[in-house]
Amino acid sequence: MKPPRVGVLALQGDTREHLAALREAGADACTVRRREELDAVDALVIPGGESTTMSHLLRELDLLEPLRARLADGMPAYGSCAGMILLAGEIVDAGVPGREALPLGGLDITVRRNAFGRQVDSFEDDIDFTGLDGTVHAVFIRAPWVERVGDGVEVLARAAGHPVAVRQGRVVATAFHPEVTGDRRVHQLFVDSLTSR
């Protein structure tokens, strides 16, 4: 069986790290910057970075509505940090009007941007993660948290009492950055979900 073709949204953020993690997890990974590249992938990873900048570039490159449409049609996706923010159905403190983070609606959740604080408040923690053996070393950088979880959304991990990893169908999001730690289990969980029935 052919490996799933997984795109990494390569507008800004941890693109290389996600490509490496996906390839190690057995995916055929590629970058996505244009509509035809989005149309050619089976699933998409939205990396960490700056959610307002990524939203602006999605609009400028005419990718915002095609991406929303693919997610509405059931395209699997994984988002880390800013990717979690963008995959949400609702964003609290989205930014200044005209330059705000724009929800893509892949998950029935409400997220708060920079919920754990500014860059100086970034931290690391070992957290329990449903479906994975042992703890996951989580790196939180100006991280969001989930404030509301809708029906059908499973909370996979918590930090400081707040959901920081969620799954709804084949859409997964983490408030932290597993791509920077060398632990490929979160990416493996996502890639495995693409080939399971």
Residues taking part in catalysis: 81, 177, 179
Establish whether 55 is an annotated binding residue: no
Establish whether 142 is an annotated binding residue: yes
* End-to-end Cα separation, the chain, in angstroms: 14
Q: How far apart are CA 113 and CA 117, in angstroms?
A: 9
Establish whether 98 is an annotated binding residue: no
Q: How far apart are CA 61 and CA 157, in angstroms?
A: 34
Establish whether 37 is an annotated binding residue: no
Pairing label, strands 123-128, 145-149:
unpaired
| Binding site, annotated residues | 49-51, 113, 141-142
| Binding site, annotated residues for L-glutamine | 49-51, 113, 141-142
